[in-house]
Structure 1
């Protein structure tokens, strides 16, 4: 249980890396060193990476799910090596092909009129572009590593974004017939505008903050470090994580209350839904703590789990390189871990003694193994293959 999300005495408060952001959430520096924060990836590119030879092979898409227990936890087998997070943004990773090619058409459970993502692929070991200011033609280098293969890539030009509203709910209120799609928003209090995927429903506009579908092309890798979870990654029209900084600004607007909709699809194509009526993500100084409000739905309240040690409300966010799970050791059934993110899941989440919910858990590495995505509100833990997290804002009556 994490209480109000504050840390105990003696714990160092994580601070922002210090790079000012320009319009569109792009860093105001042209190139980055190992001590600099990583840039927010552009909508159709991945985070820049330094890929080292000899790392494990990338995980493969899996369409046959087994028992709903993450494969890396069973049998006492040694865990697969993680990416190493050194410096705020640099990573060592296996060479792989990155693709978010989507299924054709606008139908399907995840569709809801959002359309399919464009084909987007990169050769093994390729690096995402390093954003630069203006029209400067610079080549940028990710942080070097001994015996690593470092590649150059042409820069992208910064595009000034004009916000179309505070968030998707505001856009829908101004334009009730606006279609679902990618829009530019700037929540009140946010330093710069950024792009989001809006799901325009009859009941209002919903901002998508996470989207995963195991059946949509090559699954997006959610094994990321703190800086990437902070800034966001993936393709807005496909699998993606919007970014903790953006989620915090969306859910912390003065005078507005945020609702969270959790939509899940299991291996048998059954839909599950959880709704929280007062969802907020705090600031980085407190490690982006989670607030939920009242639960309703048919999926069960996995965020709060079965007991006080499972309760993730108030917890700070944890990643491979930032452990804020408030347990040492962490206990999950008969297993114990030093860090829920590093030792058990591999992904980033609001862990409390590893908890009962983790929708960023990794896809299995072998066919027939279970997904690492968890939503276990009771004795039954469904085998999940897709999730969408959406946020809707309404007037709270409080300023």
Structure 2
């Protein structure tokens, strides 16, 4: 009986306590939830700040590593493959590029000496490609440089055989040779069902004085006639800055002459540029001679001995001697 009484008392106590606890729980839950949310938000904020610090630290480390790699990777490549440029040119030679524009189309854009396949001669020539100068006529880059004056290291006072075969260094002073120039102008031959057609290249002349003044001229169409002492033929309309429109062309359609092989029937005035100091397309008192004697920075352009361009004094009031001169073709 005593245990039964205790059980009844306990049940009555439970009936009183449980509602009280439930009422307290209902009234305190929103406050507890609010505090819990605030605690979580605070923790998340701290975690985000910590993540941001880690990200910034990683960025700085990655930047340092990236800068180091940019500097060091080329050195490692040089160590692993020290002759990559020569290898590149060797690989290129297997593609039989016939002009500099084709090299650009293959994804190589640096001006440099490249192997060009000479179709008419069935052989390679190494020649400088100007990949930077654009063209007023074709809107393309990629010029085959067959004549170049840069430093005066090469003597241009040479005989006929040298001018036919070529001489010099394509990276410096250079003359590709009349026979090579002639064959280059025949590179772009298109075969049709009824025959074939030759598309002639355009000619570009670049001139730069010791005072930094630069001018150029482009001629539409240019080729040589090998049967008449490599006479210039078919020189077309001109564009550029190295001429005055009311004056005749500085490059004249004459036969080529040297001191030991002057063109027959031509005359050369003693006070003008002529075969006495180089090979060129001379006649009388010539209008140009880019193969003349290389002059220094303090000299003026010389009509008789130096690298000469008739209209230079008209476009450059200083009339300084030419520091650089080059002749190029492009299809």
TM-score, normalization by structure 2:
0.58
Q: Does residue 331 of structure 1 match 2:274?
A: no
1:114-157 deviations in Å (ceiling 9; x for gaps): xxxxxxxxxxxxxxxxxxxxxxxxxxxxxxxxxxxxxxxxxxxx
CA drift of 1:325 comes to: 6.9
**Pair 1:200-2:131 in alignment:** yes
Equivalence for 2:147: 210
CA distance in structure 1 between the aligned counterparts of 2:222 and 2:111, rounded to whole angstroms: 22
Change (3 A) 1:164 1:306: same
Q: How far apart are residue 170 of structure 1 and its match?
A: 2.7
Between Structure 1 and Structure 2, the one with more helix by share is 2
5+ residue gaps, structure 1: 1-160, 394-399
Counterpart CA distance in 2 for 1:219 and 1:281 is 27
Relative to 1, partners in 2 of residues 1:376 and 1:370: Cα closer, same or farther, differing over 3 Å?
closer
**Does 1:165 find its partner at 2:102?**
no
Conserved? CA contact 1:181–1:197, under 8 Å: yes
- Give the Cα–Cα distance (whole angstroms) in 2 for the partners of residues 290 and 243 of structure 1: 14
Over alpha carbons, which structure has the higher Rg?
A: 2
Give the root-mean-square deviation of aligned CA atoms: 3.0
Secondary structure of the residue aligned to 2:131 is: strand
Which of residues 171, 190, 210 is equivalent to 1:237? 171
Which structure has more relative contact order (CA 8 Å, sep 6+)? It is: 1
Residue 188 of structure 1 corresponds to 119
Tell me the CA shift for residue 377 of structure 1. Answer: 2.5
Are 2:255 and 2:282, in contact at CA under 8 Å, matched by a contact in 1? yes
What does residue 276 of structure 1 align with?
A: 219
Aligned residues: 216
Per-residue deviation, 1:211: 1.1
Separation of aligned partners in 2, 1:385 and 1:378: 13
Give secondary structure in 1 for the equivalent of 2:200. strand
1:182 to 1:164, Cα distance in 2 relative to 1, 3 A: farther
CA distance in 1 between counterparts of 2:242 and 2:264 reads: 24
Q: 1:176 to 1:373 in 2, by over 3 A?
A: same
Greater than 6 Å deviation, 4+ residue runs? none
Match of 2:204 in 1: 261
Deviation at 1:316, TM superposition (A): 1.0
What is the aligned partner in structure 1 of residue 46 from structure 2?
none
Q: 1:354 to 1:311 in 2, by over 3 A?
A: same
Unaligned runs of 5+ in 2: 1-92, 135-139, 190-197
Structure 2 residue 323 is matched with structure 1 residue 391: no
| 2:110 pairs with 1:179 | yes
Secondary structure at 1:257 match in 2: coil
* Cα pair distance change 1:270/1:226, threshold 3 Å: same
Q: Is residue 163–residue 175 contact of structure 2 (8 Å, CA) maintained in 1? A: yes
Matched, 1:221 2:123: no
Match of 2:232 among 290, 315, 319: 290
Distance 2:282 2:161 in 1: 18
User: Secondary structure of 1:341's partner?
Assistant: coil
User: Superposed, which structure 2 residues align to 1:1-399 within 5 Å?
Assistant: 162=94, 164-173=96-105, 175-201=106-132, 203-213=140-150, 216=151, 219-253=153-187, 254=189, 255-283=198-226, 285-291=227-233, 292-300=235-243, 306=247, 313-324=252-263, 326-328=265-267, 330-331=268-269, 335=271, 340-342=274-276, 346-364=277-295, 368=299, 370-371=301-302, 372-377=306-311, 380=314, 382=319, 383-393=321-331
Contact 1:252 1:282 in 2 (8 A): no
Residues 127 and 145 in structure 2, CA contact (< 8 A), matched pair in contact too: yes
Alignment partners' CA distance in 2, 1:362 and 1:267: 15
